[in-house]
Chain A
C-alpha cells in the first residue's frame, strides 16, 4: 500500500493495485460521521460497440443497456440489495454516465459490512428473464419522466446537434423501444466484458483506518477467482470535427423558453496532464467570458436576456467533448446570437487582463477547497480523473500554471463557427 501526501490540503491518500488488477484508494477524513464508498467500472452509455469477452467479432448492443444493467445488478435471487444496505443502516445508490457506471453507499455505522456488501453485490450478477421484463416498466417510467423534463431535452438535444456518429448522442437510458430488446444474455455479455476488476476502481472516503480497510478488500478479492483479462476492444465511428446540425428547436409544454449554445470540443484524444490542463484552461476561459463577474454576464443580465438559471459547463472525455452556455430566456434567438458573437470576439483576441486571470484562478482554487469538503465529490471525481489518467489532486498546481497565453491560444483554436450549435425549447403554442 502506498501513501501519498497532499501537504497544502492536509490530506493523505492510500493506494494499492491488487493482483486481479483492481485499483483501491482510501482517503481518511477525520471529523466526519459518514463513510462514502464508490465501486466504479469504466463502462458507460458510449461503450455500445465492442468485442465481448471470449469472442472475436464486434457487436453493437441495444441503447440504454449500461444503465439497465446498473438497475438489475441490485436484484439477487434472494431479494433486493437495497434491503440489505438499509438493514445495515446504509443508503445505497448507483448512477450511469457516458463513460462510467458507479455503485455506492454511505453509512455512519457497520461500515465494514456495507463495504463487503457493495463489493460482493457488484461482483455477483444475477439476471433472469422475469426480472429483466419487470424492470422495463420501471425504466420506462424513468425515460418518460425525462421526456417531460425540458432541461434534459435541451441538454440532449444539443449533444445530438453536435455529434453525428458518436454514441454520446444516445440518451443514457435509451428509449422504450430500445430497452425492449434487452435480454438477460445481453446483460451477461456486457457484464462479463466490463466488470472485470482490472477495469474498475474502488474509492473509500471517511473516518476510516486505511490499513484495516485495505486488508479487508485484499482478503475479499483474494477469495474470488478472476482470469487475466485481455484489453477491452471498443469501437467508435469516425466523427467529423464540425457540428452535425446548426440548430434544433423543440416545442414543449413550457411557459419560459430555453436556449443553449454549444461548442464541439477539440483535442478529445487527450489523457493525463495534457487533458487536465486543456479542460482547466477551457473552464477558465468560460469563467472569464461568462462568469458572474464578467462584462458579458452583466450585459446579458441587464438586457433581460438571461436570469439566474444562466450557466455554462465544459465536458471532456475520451473521444468527445463539448462546452454549453445558456439558460432560460425570453428571447432565445437573440440570446443565441449574442452568445455566439461574444465567443467569436474571444476567438479574435478579446483582451483578458492578467488581473482577471488571477481573480479567476483564485475563484477556482477556492471552489476546489469547497468541493473537497464533500466526500461524494472526492470519490466520484477522483475516479473520473483516474480513468483518464489524471489526478484530482493536481487541479490546484495545474491551475496555478495557466497563463493568459494558454487561454488565448485555446480560445482562438477551439472557438469556431463550424463547431457551434444551438438548441432551444420554446412554448408549444408559440412559434
Chain B
C-alpha cells in the first residue's frame, strides 16, 4: 500500500502521527480533539472551532487572517465537527503548498505549522474572554447552520431518524448542537471552556506529505505543548433490545418522500465480526451492485438512490432512499425482503467476491487522499485499538458466508422514519 505508513509519536499532551509520502503537491495538517458527546457541551464545541478560525491574536480580523492564508499560496484552513460513536470530534485542517513545486521557494511548511499553532493557542482575546464581536458573529452563523439542516431534506430525514431512534442516548444530539443553547454562550464562558478542552480532550495531530520526521517533531515540540492528560471515555451504554419497530411519519411540503430505516448492528469497530459486518453492508446496500440498488432501483424502478451505510463506532446501520409518496409500503417491503435474504444466507459467491473486491478498492482509493487517510487512521484513536490497514484488508478478505449470515442475524431493525408529502395517502 503506497503512502499509508503511520508513525505515531507521543508528544506532550497529544499524539503526533506522521505519514511521509511524496505523492502530493501539498502538505496537510489535521488537528483533532475528542471528548464524550454531552448535551451540556455539544453547542459550545460546535461554536469554539469557528471562533478560533475566524481570527487570532496576531491576525485579529478575518480579513487579516485570510489575507495571510492567501499570501501562503492559498493555504486552506477549515474546521469541522463529527460524531464518532458517542464522541464529539473537532477537527482543524490546514493544507499548504509544497514549495518545491513553486517558482519562488519560500519555506512554507514551518509557516503553516506556526499558523496552525497560532489558531489553536493564541486566540483573539481581551482579558479572560474571546473577542466579543467575533463570538457574536459566530453565534449568529451557528444558529443559521443549525437551522439549515431543515432545508436539506436528505440530511434532515437522517437527523430525524437518529433523533427518534436514539432518544435518550447522546448520539441523538446533533453535531452542530442546539439552537436554544446558543444564546447562553458568552465570550467569557466560551473562553473558560476553551481552556478546559485543551486540558482535557484527547488530542491528535496528523501530518501528511513530503516531510521529514525529525523536522516535524522539532516544530511540534516547539510550537505545541500541553499538559498530559488521561482522556475521558464515554460510558458504554447498554441499549435495550427493541421490542417493536418504531414507525415515524412526518408530513411536510415535499415532492419526494425520504425513507430512512435505522438498524442496531450490535457490532462496533474493533469487534472480531466487524469485518464481516463491512462485507454484509457491501452485499446488502453499500454499492451499485448491492441488493438494495438492484431491487429497489433497477428491478422495481422505485428510486434513484437506495443505499445503506454503517456508523462503525455506535453500531448502527442506516438505509436511505428517495421514493414516491405512494410507494412507501412497497419500498419497505422490498428492503425487508433483502434483509431476510441476508439472514438466510441468500447471496451468491459472486456477490461475496465482488463485494470484497469493491471494498478493497474503496479503502485503497480513500487513502490516496490525505484527508481520507487521516479519517481511516483515526478509527484506531476512537476505538482505542490498533488495527493496521493491512490487517483490516486481510481480515475483510477472509470473511466467510457463514460469518456474514451470523452478522445479519445480529442486526435488528429499530426505527423507520418517513418524511412524506402533504398529499400522501400513506
Q: Chain A interface (Cβ within 8 Å of chain B)?
A: 8-10, 29-34, 80, 82-83, 86-92, 106-109, 134-139, 141-142, 144-145, 147-150, 207, 253-256, 291-295, 297-298, 301-302, 304, 307-309, 328, 330, 359-360, 362-367, 369-370, 372-375, 428
A120 CB to nearest chain B CB (Å): 18
Least CB separation from A173: chain B residue: B304
Which residues of A have CB within 8 Å of B101? 8-10, 369
> Could you tell me which residues of chain B, from 110 to 152, have a CB within 8 Å of some CB in chain A?
133, 137, 140-141, 144-145, 147-148, 150-152
In the bound complex, do residue B350 and residue A87 qualify as a contact, i.e. CB atoms below 8 Å apart? yes
A365 and B97 alpha carbons, distance in the complex (Å)? 9
In the bound complex, do residue B63 and residue A298 qualify as a contact, i.e. CB atoms below 8 Å apart? yes
Q: Does B266 contact A (CB under 8 A)?
A: no
In the bound complex, do residue B151 and residue A292 qualify as a contact, i.e. CB atoms below 8 Å apart? no
A34 in contact with B365 given A293-B69, A301-B62, A373-B24 (CB within 8 Å)? yes
A372 and B25 alpha carbons, distance in the complex (Å)? 8
A307 in contact with B289 given A141-B303, A150-B151, A373-B26 (CB within 8 Å)? no
In the bound complex, do residue A370 and residue B153 qualify as a contact, i.e. CB atoms below 8 Å apart? no
Which residues of B have CB within 8 Å of A297? 62-63, 66
A–B Cβ pairs within 8 angstroms, 14 of them = A33-B1, A86-B287, A89-B360, A108-B360, A109-B361, A137-B302, A149-B153, A293-B67, A298-B61, A298-B63, A301-B62, A328-B148, A363-B70, A366-B96
In the bound complex, do residue B361 and residue A107 qualify as a contact, i.e. CB atoms below 8 Å apart? yes
**A141 touches which one: B102, B324, B357, B365 (CB < 8 A)?**
B324
In the bound complex, do residue B3 and residue A308 qualify as a contact, i.e. CB atoms below 8 Å apart? no
Chain A CB within 10 Å — which of B61, B305, B361 has the most?
Answer: B361
Least CB separation from A329: chain B residue: B144
For B, the interface residue count at a CB cutoff of 8 angstroms equals 74
B291 CB to nearest chain A CB (Å): 12
Per-residue 0/1 for B1-12: is the Cβ within 8 Å of any A Cβ (1 yes, 0 no)?
111000000000
Which residues of A have CB within 8 Å of B76? 370
Which residues of B have CB within 8 Å of A31? 2-3, 21-23
A29 in contact with B23 given A86-B289, A369-B101 (CB within 8 Å)? yes
Which residues of A have CB within 8 Å of B74? 362-367, 370
B82 CB to nearest chain A CB (Å): 17
A366 in contact with B303 given A33-B365, A144-B255 (CB within 8 Å)? no
Chain A CB within 10 Å — which of B98, B297, B301, B353 has the most?
Answer: B301
In the bound complex, do residue B365 and residue A106 qualify as a contact, i.e. CB atoms below 8 Å apart? yes
Which residues of A have CB within 8 Å of B137? 301-302, 304
Q: Does B362 contact A (CB under 8 A)?
A: yes
**B145 touches which one: A83, A307, A363 (CB < 8 A)?**
A307
> Could you tell me which residues of chain B, from 225 to 268, have a CB within 8 Å of some CB in chain A?
252-256
Q: Does B95 contact A (CB under 8 A)?
A: yes
In the bound complex, do residue A292 and residue B66 qualify as a contact, i.e. CB atoms below 8 Å apart? yes
Given contacts A89-B360, A138-B301, A139-B304, 5 further A-B pairs with CB under 8 A are: A33-B1, A141-B256, A148-B153, A294-B63, A366-B74
A42 and B6 alpha carbons, distance in the complex (Å)? 43
Which residues of B have CB within 8 Å of A367? 74
Which residues of A have CB within 8 Å of B141? 307-308
Which residues of B have CB within 8 Å of A134? 301
B135 CB to nearest chain A CB (Å): 13
A141 in contact with B323 given A29-B23, A307-B144, A359-B67 (CB within 8 Å)? yes
Q: Chain B interface (Cβ within 8 Å of chain A)?
A: 1-3, 21-26, 61-63, 66-67, 69-76, 95-98, 101-103, 133, 137, 140-141, 144-145, 147-148, 150-153, 252-256, 287-289, 297-298, 301-305, 322-324, 350, 353-355, 357-358, 360-362, 364-365, 367-370
Least CB separation from B54: chain A residue: A301
Which residues of A have CB within 8 Å of B361? 34, 89-91, 106-109
**B368 touches which one: A32, A87, A293, A370 (CB < 8 A)?**
A32
A83 and B348 alpha carbons, distance in the complex (Å)? 13
A335 CB to nearest chain B CB (Å): 13
A89 and B282 alpha carbons, distance in the complex (Å)? 12
**A369 touches which one: B26, B144, B256, B305 (CB < 8 A)?**
B26
In the bound complex, do residue B298 and residue A8 qualify as a contact, i.e. CB atoms below 8 Å apart? no
A425 and B355 alpha carbons, distance in the complex (Å)? 42
Least CB separation from A86: chain B residue: B289
In the bound complex, do residue A370 and residue B97 qualify as a contact, i.e. CB atoms below 8 Å apart? yes
A294 and B67 alpha carbons, distance in the complex (Å)? 8
A22 and B85 alpha carbons, distance in the complex (Å)? 50
A328 CB to nearest chain B CB (Å): 6
In the bound complex, do residue A359 and residue B70 qualify as a contact, i.e. CB atoms below 8 Å apart? yes
Least CB separation from A134: chain B residue: B301
Least CB separation from A83: chain B residue: B289
In the bound complex, do residue B24 and residue A33 qualify as a contact, i.e. CB atoms below 8 Å apart? no
Least CB separation from A108: chain B residue: B364
10 closest A-B pairs by beta carbon, nearest first, are A31-B23, A366-B74, A366-B73, A137-B301, A89-B357, A363-B74, A293-B66, A142-B304, A108-B364, A363-B70
A325 CB to nearest chain B CB (Å): 17
B56 CB to nearest chain A CB (Å): 14
Which residues of A have CB within 8 Å of B61? 298
In the bound complex, do residue A291 and residue B144 qualify as a contact, i.e. CB atoms below 8 Å apart? no
Least CB separation from B362: chain A residue: A91
A33 in contact with B354 given A147-B255, A308-B145 (CB within 8 Å)? no
A33 and B372 alpha carbons, distance in the complex (Å)? 13
A5 CB to nearest chain B CB (Å): 14
A108 CB to nearest chain B CB (Å): 4
Chain A CB within 10 Å — which of B21, B253, B323, B368 has the most?
Answer: B368
In the bound complex, do residue A82 and residue B97 qualify as a contact, i.e. CB atoms below 8 Å apart? no
In the bound complex, do residue B289 and residue A256 qualify as a contact, i.e. CB atoms below 8 Å apart? no
Which residues of A have CB within 8 Å of B302? 137, 141
B225 CB to nearest chain A CB (Å): 29
A252 CB to nearest chain B CB (Å): 8
In the bound complex, do residue A304 and residue B73 qualify as a contact, i.e. CB atoms below 8 Å apart? no
In the bound complex, do residue B2 and residue A366 qualify as a contact, i.e. CB atoms below 8 Å apart? no
In the bound complex, do residue A33 and residue B148 qualify as a contact, i.e. CB atoms below 8 Å apart? no
A302 and B152 alpha carbons, distance in the complex (Å)? 26
Which residues of B have CB within 8 Å of A292? 62, 66
